[in-house]
Every structure is written in structure tokens, then in C-alpha cells.
Chain A
């Protein structure tokens, strides 16, 4: 019982990690695209729980709000837009790229492993308080992010607004009606 209490955070981490990976595998395994999307939603929520475990409360909340809410809606809309069920085999070309996906996955894994190992070698293990400490004073995660984001990372923050602007204008330009491209059956309205 002592073992459980002492290593509670570690045990919780490994449970969440297994569930996160299981959700990721579910995305690949489920035949129905909607089931795959729901599996992805499960993965997002588990990642949010991992953020909470790191005491990155703001990131956990953002993960649920933006990924679990907004991005998930976009995924489901894409599934509804392209009507995956009626794709001809030659249109589903992505399934033939499996070897490429394996290579890319292995390369990404090696890259992450290198980053982790060298990160620990160069700067050592963090003490876990960096996410909520500013100028030596320990404050909340949200306030710590606020204190750093709007001062040290001022330029990236302002660039974010430009990136969001590009996303917004791009969506409007691509989504606008153009003559002769009207698609039949617009989800209920004429």
C-alpha cells in the first residue's frame, strides 16, 4: 500500500500513457471514421490529463477546450464533407502509403528519443516547478504563462494573431461560393 501512495504520480502517469497510446491505436484500427474520431477525442482528453499531472493546468484546459472542442468539430466536419464511405479504392491512396508511414514514424520516434536523451544530458532533469515559477516566486501556471508569454515571447504572441488571421481568411476564401462549383445536397438546406 505504501508503494501505491509513494509512487502515485508515476502509476497515474503510466496508466494515462497506456490509455493515450491505446486511443491513438484506436484511431488507426477503427473502421468507421466517426469511431476513429471519437478515439482521437479520447486521446486528446488523456493528453489533457497528462498536462494536469505536470501541473500545467492552463495547457490541460486549453487541450480540452481547443482540441476536444474546436479541432474535434473540424475533424467530424471533414468526415461529413468528404463522405468517406463512397470513396473509390483508387481515391483512398493514403492506405497504400503504409510503408512510408512506418518509415516516418520510426524517424520521428528516433528524433524524439534523441531530443529527450540530449535534453536530459545537457540541462538535466527539471525540478517540475518551472511551469509555475517566475523570477523565483512560485505562482499559478496560468499566471506564470501570462507573465512570460506577454513579455519574453511578445513577438511570437503577436505573430500568432497573424497566423490566426491567415487561417480565418483562408477558410473564407476556400469556402466561398464560386459559380459552377455548386455541390448538391447541402446538409438539409436547399
Chain B
């Protein structure tokens, strides 16, 4: 448990700094609130829509799903790499099979143009 003390200190510092920044600016800033100031900044042009009014393209979602899939694939490489000595050739072959199956999906995604933005 004592191994986590540095992480605890790190988290406390990481949480304190933004709170401190917000508090200090709240105290020392000159305040003249204006509804126009609260609008999102779009290079000086009046904003046409706000965050939740805009619908995103489905293509962002496809990219996100592909990201999660390869994320999980990478996660499986961690315990495999750590116990590589123990697993020897058998583990290597099985990881090659695992990656080969996912490679099929990668090739499919590539061929279908899912990785392109056109």
C-alpha cells in the first residue's frame, strides 16, 4: 500500500493546482460580466450553433470504435509481454494467431476506406 504514496501526492498536487488557479484568478481578476463574453469564441464571428445543437458525423464514431478495438488489442499485449519468458514459443504462436485474426479486420477497414476521411 505504501507504494501508492507517491501517486497520492501526485494526485493531490494535480487536483490542487487547477483549484488554486481558479481561486486565485477569481480573487484578483477585474470582473465585468457580459452575456456576449460567455458565448463560444468562433474567431469573432457570431456563433451559429452551440455544443449540443451540433450533430456529429457517424464517421467520428467509426474511428472511435476502431480506436477502442485496437486499444483492447494492445491491452492484451501487456500481460503477454510481461510473461513472455514463461510462455516461450507457445505464447508467441498464439499471439501471432490473435494478431492475424485482428489483421483481417484491419485489412477490411483499410479496403473499405474506413481509415480515410473522404
Contact = CB atoms under 8 A, between A and B. Distances in A.
B64 A142 contact: no
B102 A165 contact: yes
Contact of B64 (A66, A70, A85, A150): A70
Interface stretch (A73-81, A95-103, A112-120): A73-81
Contact of A77 (B52, B60, B79): B60
Contact of B60 (A70, A151, A187): A187
B37 interface: no
B98 A83 contact: no
B10 interface: no
B83 A146 contact: yes
A48 to B, nearest CB: 12
A58 interface: yes
**Interface range on chain B (Cβ under 8 Å from partner):** 35 or more
Given A80-B54, A185-B54, A150 B91 contact: yes
Interface stretch (A21-29, A124-132, A152-160): A152-160
Contact of A8 (B1, B81, B90): B1
A179 interface: no
Chain B contact residues: helix, strand, loop or mixed: helix
A165 B76 CA distance: 14
B105 interface: yes
Given A149-B79, A157-B94, A77 B54 contact: no
Interface in A156-185: 157-158, 160-162, 164-165, 167-169, 171-172, 175-176, 183, 185
A70 B61 CA distance: 11
Nearest to A160: B76
Interface of A: 8-9, 32-34, 52, 58, 62, 65-66, 69-71, 73-74, 77-85, 140, 142-143, 145-147, 149-151, 154, 157-158, 160-162, 164-165, 167-169, 171-172, 175-176, 183, 185-187, 189
Q: In the A-B complex, list the 4 residue pairs whose CB atoms are closest, starting with the nearest.
A: A146-B83, A146-B79, A186-B57, A175-B62
